[in-house]
Structure 1
Amino acid sequence: MEPKSSQFRWALAALMFLISFLSYMDRVNLSVAAPAIMQEFGFSKIDMGLLQTAFFLGYALMQIPGGIMAELFGYRKTITFAASFWSVFTALTAICSNFTMFAAMRALFGIGEGPLAPSFGRFIYRWFNPGERGRGSALFLSGMFIGPVFGPAVTVALMLAFGWRSVFILFGAAGLVLALAWYWFATESPRDNKYVSTAEADHIEAGRPPNTAKELAPWRDFMYSSQFWAVGIQFFITDYIMYVFLAWLPMYLMEARNFTLTSMGIAASFPWAALCLVTLATGFISDRLIGAGLSNHKVRTLFGITGLTICCAALYLGAVTADPWWNVFWLTLSLGSLGFTFNAGWAACIDIGGKFSGSVTGWMNFWGNIGGVTAPTLTAWLATTYGWQMAITFTAALAVIGIVAWLAVKPDRPLVPAGHGGGAGQRDLLIRPKTTIPNR
């Protein structure tokens, strides 16, 4: 009789879901509170775009260091520190009284949240076997994407009852509680966790090389890889589109489509609900397809391209439609379709990164959040100068670049040579002159 296996990895996945959920609630709160803050302090749309950019700049700059931190210090300590740090500065947003203070708090909030995504990339690699990585990635991503589903309605309710400052204080306190829970329950190795049975640990480690000593990723080799750059470019585009929604959807619905504050809180949740559901479904479907014998390359690339293609068409239709609720429908289809691409991107990073998945996801998310730095301010300028229709149409057109980049992503080819200990399989083709690379 086989020993009974625990399922504690899914309990930690649920906690990961909650932490990522709260992290996005914290992000979307500023965009929902924007009308009240703009009225109180006299900020323009450009000012609010710059405040969003301050967050994304700090967040982007911490992606690669965050991945390195997760690999050297462990994801348990890194995530605990990150969640505590950003929660403090989320709460301190409530005391801001001028533009400079808001910008400083948002930048520090971004710096604190930066290590989260690459750390969870490393956690997924360490706690889920290769046949479960699509679902693990889906739970992390859907936690982020469900934040904006509830964020607008919850934030509006708190604002109407207690004012906009209460939102940041309450969510900052919740973040500290979740940081403590992560430190209490998570461990670096499944075998070191008192809640994990031997059978579960064996299942987790099946099909993956044994854990080795901590070491830095071979960044010199990575920088010559075509797919290493391609995975960053596609995520720049994907995140740019998503951050246009995150930063400006509430304002767009109220200003361009004449929604009231209450109806906006409802309408703005639909695109994010679709994104969350599609991301979850894609995780389960991709694991099933790979388990049935399809290659990682076919599944990840097909989903990545499909998502951006639908997004491009639907976003353009949303820009040109006259009816407000048809506009919401097309925006919902557009953002929802990115669930295919987000899941494919994160799972592909873990496929090609192996033991260095923290660094590879950090690299991808760095470029994604360069898109986040660019999207709020550029969209504000386009909307102010040329109108909202031009701003949305321009965003739709960018999807074509992401589609082309996906053609160079090869998830069946790990970035690290087999002799390096980071994974098996054919090594990624390098785009430099032929040289001999010694095994490290």
Structure 2
Amino acid sequence: MFSKGKLAVIILLFAAGIINYLDRSALSIAAPFITDDLKLSATQLGIIFSSFSVGYAIFNFIGGVASDKYGAKLTLFVAMIVWSLFSGAVALAVGFTSLIIIRVLFGMGEGPLSTTINKMVNNWFPSDQRASAIGLTNSGSPLGGAISGPIVGFIAISYSWKISFILIMIIGLIWTIAWWKFVKDKPSNAQFSTRVKKQVADHEKRPLTFYLKQKTVLFTAFAFFAYNYILFFFLTWFPSYLVDARGMSVKNMSIITVIPWIFGFIGLAAGGFVSDYVFKKFARKGVLFSRKVVLVSCLFTSAVCIGLAGLVTTTTSAVVLVALSVFFLYLTGAIYWAIIQDVVDQNNVGSVGGFMHFLANTAGIIGPTVTGFIVDKSGTYTAAFLLAGGLAVVASLAVIRFVQPIIVQAHSKTREVVVGK
């Protein structure tokens, strides 16, 4: 299906996703130890979780603009170095304030990843392969989350939680060497270049501000916000929920958290193929129809599952429902990016994708802190589960109404051009 050059891009971006979530989820796995060592309350821990997304969300947009201007290869190379160094710096934290500063800088480093993946896919793959490629490359993220539990849990129990962050830093720095050596920013294949020129001609270049005002972009970002709200709730608070509310040991928790991540890996890897299959099957209905079918049905199902997880009484039921929620959530993971690919010209894909990702990741700033506040005030996680599900229900319904083909006026003639029909 993929040529040798494309396969190298997929493999290394897949590996970057593994490292990304290995780094990102390490703090939530080590949270019980860090909370004890640094004497943190649930609200403080929530603020620390959220601080990551302050830097992350801002550099979603900045990273997207950089990938358009300087190339995705260089942008991701620099980003990996920065986030790896500040992942290791977590081991140097001595209190609440220092940990916040480190996590903000760490988030800044990780911010460009998804937008650079989107840009690389746009450079290397035609439209009927893009959702599949995005799904495959991003599926490394939940796999990284899956292995983070056993790795960080084992090291924290056997040695020290600080050692795990240093080890993860070294892995990231090794990746940068392979990335710079084996990957090109764009393919040199003449046939592909011709096809790209045709696609650019079909999607006449528009100013960035044109896209940032479109309802399709804004409401795709809102759906992505709901996606990220559930994801960050799971990523940051689910381990603590298992320990605090379900009475699990850190050892058992680090193993149990693997289950939802495995479901997420399957969902994200399969989601792009599902979308591309529906795209090919119902081509006459338009590309956005295929994207919306997968997005709306799966995001809604994920919302129901995460809401029910907060109401059930047994640990097994809660874990199963969260796993199903993550599975259906990740089935939509490639769709947000695919929609941007479908309606935006190639020169603006990185910037518009970064803007969408910036808006979406404000959920990572708001969600963990709100959850910590809810837990402190109510003493339970039930309302936090229901809030996460409720947001996703509203977002999935909004997609049906507002994510539509973009209609623009061609400059040369007074005729309408429908983009992403």
Same topology, TM > 0.5: yes
Q: Does 1:180 align with 2:177?
A: yes
Per the alignment, do residues 244 and 71 of structure 1 end up closer, same or farther by CA in structure 2, a change over 3 Å counting? Answer: same
Q: Does 1:33 align with 2:24?
A: no
Are the counterparts in 2 of residues 382 and 390 from structure 1 also a CA contact under 8 Å?
A: yes
Are the counterparts in 1 of residues 61 and 355 from structure 2 also a CA contact under 8 Å?
A: yes
Partner deviation per Cα, 1:332-370 (whole Å, 9 max, x = no partner): 111111122222112112112231211121112111210
Q: Does 1:426 align with 2:415?
A: no
Which of 215, 221, 237 is matched with 1:226 structurally?
A: 215
Partner deviation per Cα, 1:214-244 (whole Å, 9 max, x = no partner): x997232123311121111111111011100
State the aligned residue count: 411
Structure 2 unpaired stretches of 5+: none
The amino acid that maps onto 1:93 is V
Measured in 2, the distance between the counterparts of 1:340 and 1:103 equals 32
Are the counterparts in 2 of residues 316 and 396 from structure 1 also a CA contact under 8 Å?
A: yes
Per the alignment, do residues 204 and 150 of structure 1 end up closer, same or farther by CA in structure 2, a change over 3 Å counting? Answer: farther
Measured in 2, the distance between the counterparts of 1:88 and 1:285 equals 37
Are the counterparts in 2 of residues 306 and 340 from structure 1 also a CA contact under 8 Å?
A: no
Per the alignment, do residues 22 and 254 of structure 1 end up closer, same or farther by CA in structure 2, a change over 3 Å counting? Answer: same
Which of 383, 386, 397 is matched with 1:404 structurally?
A: 397
The amino acid that maps onto 2:299 is L
Structure 1 unpaired stretches of 5+: 192-197, 430-440
Measured in 2, the distance between the counterparts of 1:286 and 1:305 equals 12
TM-score by length of 1: 0.88
Which of 260, 271, 290 is matched with 1:299 structurally?
A: 290
Root-mean-square deviation (Å): 2.3
Q: Does 1:259 align with 2:256?
A: no
Which of 330, 336, 339 is matched with 1:345 structurally?
A: 336
Match in the other structure for 2:356: 364
Match in the other structure for 2:228: 239
Are the counterparts in 1 of residues 239 and 253 from structure 2 also a CA contact under 8 Å?
A: yes
**Matched position secondary structure for 2:185:** coil
Per the alignment, do residues 359 and 415 of structure 1 end up closer, same or farther by CA in structure 2, a change over 3 Å counting? Answer: farther
Are the counterparts in 1 of residues 215 and 403 from structure 2 also a CA contact under 8 Å?
A: no
**Matched position secondary structure for 1:206:** helix
Instruction: State the 1:31 CA deviation.
Output: 0.5
Measured in 1, the distance between the counterparts of 2:199 and 2:217 equals 24
Are the counterparts in 2 of residues 318 and 327 from structure 1 also a CA contact under 8 Å?
A: yes
The amino acid that maps onto 2:225 is F
Q: Does 1:104 align with 2:95?
A: no
The amino acid that maps onto 2:377 is T
Instruction: State the 1:402 CA deviation.
Output: 1.1
The amino acid that maps onto 2:243 is M
Are the counterparts in 1 of residues 84 and 173 from structure 2 also a CA contact under 8 Å?
A: yes
Measured in 1, the distance between the counterparts of 2:328 and 2:241 equals 20
Are the counterparts in 1 of residues 205 and 345 from structure 2 also a CA contact under 8 Å?
A: no
The amino acid that maps onto 1:270 is I
TM-score by length of 2: 0.92
Which of 127, 133, 149 is matched with 2:130 structurally?
A: 133
**Structure 2 matches for 1:48-127, cutoff 5 A?**
48-127=45-124
Are the counterparts in 1 of residues 30 and 152 from structure 2 also a CA contact under 8 Å?
A: yes
Are the counterparts in 2 of residues 72 and 216 from structure 1 also a CA contact under 8 Å?
A: no
Per the alignment, do residues 302 and 51 of structure 1 end up closer, same or farther by CA in structure 2, a change over 3 Å counting? Answer: same
Match in the other structure for 1:289: 278
The amino acid that maps onto 2:168 is F
**Matched position secondary structure for 1:426:** strand
The amino acid that maps onto 2:397 is V
Q: Does 1:325 align with 2:316?
A: yes
Match in the other structure for 1:378: 370
Measured in 1, the distance between the counterparts of 2:408 and 2:13 equals 27
The amino acid that maps onto 1:154 is I
Per the alignment, do residues 365 and 415 of structure 1 end up closer, same or farther by CA in structure 2, a change over 3 Å counting? Answer: farther
Measured in 1, the distance between the counterparts of 2:178 and 2:406 equals 34
Per the alignment, do residues 338 and 415 of structure 1 end up closer, same or farther by CA in structure 2, a change over 3 Å counting? Answer: farther
Deviates more, 1:285-294 or 1:163-172: 285-294
Measured in 2, the distance between the counterparts of 1:367 and 1:419 equals 30
Are the counterparts in 2 of residues 130 and 208 from structure 1 also a CA contact under 8 Å?
A: no
Partner deviation per Cα, 1:37-93 (whole Å, 9 max, x = no partner): 111111111111111111100000111111110000001110000001111111111
Measured in 2, the distance between the counterparts of 1:220 and 1:354 equals 13
Measured in 1, the distance between the counterparts of 2:30 and 2:129 equals 38
Measured in 1, the distance between the counterparts of 2:387 and 2:156 equals 33
Instruction: State the 1:416 CA deviation.
Output: 7.5
Match in the other structure for 1:393: 386
Measured in 2, the distance between the counterparts of 1:277 and 1:137 equals 14
